[in-house]
Amino acid sequence: MSFIKEAWKNRKLIWQLGKNDFKNRFANTSLGSIWGYLSPFIFMMMYVIVFQFIFKTPGPSADIPYIVWFMPGMAMWMCLNDGIIGASNAIRGYSYLVKKVVFPVDVIPIISIIANAFVAIFLFLLATVVCIAYKCIPNILSIIYIIVAAYAFLIAVTRFTSAIVTLVPDFSNLLGIIMQLFFWLTPVVWNLSMIANNPMILRVLKCIPFTYLVTGFRDCFMEGNIVTAGHGAYTIVFWVITIIMFVWGNYIFKKNKKDFADVL
């Protein structure tokens, strides 16, 4: 596909602009880029303190405390949420580049995804260190797979959302609401076992890509093989949805790309 070729051709430019984007967010602060890591770290720790030490929420088993169950799931959710929101608004944020005919507009959302990836990788490493501290050894191959799957999904979704937000700015606010709804539909702070008595609802929620990715990264520390162990059918569903989203989003993006400069 032309999009993949364009992204590969401009990979060095994307990487450099992504790094600059992350640095520029905190350019006028004393701590600089440290704020990018400190804010999500404190956010996650507050959840841990409230649910594990105040509410004393139990983990999925006696051997696995809540913090080990929670942190991988929250790290993945923050990666997805920040990636989608950031990349969806990227073209408007880089409007000065859109108006330059020679700049490859297709790759702009990826620049934002790269910028957000610095924090996401930090959170993934933090979750991994915590889990290892509690003797939950991760499956490295499964972690690599689920992270690749997450970024494939991010690119697929934001091909559509970045085009729509560029043409209809109000969609950005609607997208924020949609992501809040998905946060509560996705088992980030609650366990799927809570709805085990409703198999139909359980199956529907497991088909949501966010659920697949959040539980998938979590299971890398607890159950091993995400691709087959209890997830076989949902792996197929996930990739079918991701491919459909990419094809559809790519069509919408290409169809409306010529109008971006006019609306910015």
pLDDT per residue over 105-142, tens digit each?
888 999 999 999 999 999 999 999 988 888 888 888 88
Domain ranges of the chain: 2-263
What tokens were used for 239? 């990739």
Residue 262's pLDDT band, with cuts at 50, 70 and 90, is confident
DSSP label at residue 26: T
pLDDT per residue over 187-220, tens digit each?
998 888 888 889 899 999 999 999 999 999 998 8
Burial readout 38-72 (b: 16 or more C-beta within 10 A, e: otherwise): eebeeebeebbeebbeeeebebbeeebbbbbbbbb
Give the pLDDT of residue 185.
94
| Residue % of the chain over a pLDDT of 70 | 92
Q: pTM of the predicted model, to two decimals?
A: 0.91
